[in-house]
Amino acid sequence: MADLLARLRSRWLHILGTLLVLLAVAAAILLYSGSYFDKDPFTRFPAKGKVRPTLVLSLSGDMGLRYGMGGVIARALSEDGIEVLGVNSPVLFRKRRTAAQVDAVIADLIRRAEAERGERKLVLLGQSYGSDMLQTGLAHLPADLRAPISAVVLVVPGETAFFRSDPSGLAYMGKPDNLGVTTARQIDWVPMTCIYGVREPDSLCPLLKPQANVRVVALPGGHYLDHDDAALVAHVETAVRHAPSPSPAD
């Protein structure tokens, strides 16, 4: 009996070890295909069809632009004639940043977008982790970079922010690096749309309802908005299309 139990234990340990290896390989493949290990953070989505005079700088969630809502939004805007300069957030935030570094990264991204926009409107968009980093950096954006920005759209931002992306979510279980409301409330100089799911327990959006420049949009579902891509895209496109044009002086 003891020999039988020992063999069974050895077999189960072997099976468990094999499963863990397979899970690790699957996770690595997912991260690789999701651009987590890319060197270039940028993905372009050219405007198709009737081109609209708008450029969207879009920061993805922690799974990049190949998975999740960020890619869906970017492709939809592209099909609607709006060029999107996509940013794969995991490439820029796979290592922990300081608050000053987050500010610098966001400022550099905006400088690049402003250099490319020409006479077009510039709309900043962040999705999930990307929205956390975007609003964190915008709070301290230099004044000279603010004027050309027509609008900001935050999609499912969280109450808290962590300065290192982690698709597994494990890094988000510790002490946050920032409380979203402390920075988001400083962004009072540009029209901002905040989209969230009514069943999200930790969304930033409801906390911004008193803010005069913020339009809060509540959609059914939790963080993934019941996977209703059509409804999400419709609200994002409305925010982008209604963004005011920058003044001629800009």
Query: Using an 8 Å Cβ cutoff, are 21 and 14 in contact?
Result: no
Please state, in angstroms and as integers, the Cα–Cα distance from residue 208 to each residue in 159, 180, 213, following that order.
Answer: 11, 10, 9
Task: Inform me whether the pLDDT recorded for 18 exceeds 60.
Answer: no
Find the mean pLDDT for residues 27-32. Answer: 44
Identify the band that residue 19 occupies on the pLDDT scale cut at 50, 70 and 90: low
Q: Among the residues of the chain, which ranges form H helices?
A: 2-33, 69-79, 89-93, 99-117, 129-138, 143-146, 180-184, 229-241
Mind listing the pLDDT tens digit for each residue in 199-240? 999 999 999 999 999 999 999 999 999 999 999 999 999 999
Identify the band that residue 43 occupies on the pLDDT scale cut at 50, 70 and 90: very high
Least confident of 29-38, 98-107, 237-246: 29-38
Please state, in angstroms and as integers, the Cα–Cα distance from residue 58 to each residue in 21, 52, 65, 120, following that order.
Answer: 35, 16, 9, 16
- pLDDT score at 22: 43
**What is the pTM for the complete model shown?**
0.86
Q: Which two tokens stand for residue 29?
A: 């493949």
Domain ranges of the chain: 1-33, 39-241
Half-sphere exposure of 70 (CA within 13 A, CB side): 32
- pLDDT score at 7: 61
Mind listing the pLDDT tens digit for each residue in 124-148? 999 999 999 999 999 999 999 999 9
Mind listing the pLDDT tens digit for each residue in 159-190? 999 999 999 899 899 999 999 999 999 999 99
- pLDDT score at 4: 59
Architecture per CATH, domain 39-241, reads as 3-Layer(aba) Sandwich (3.40)
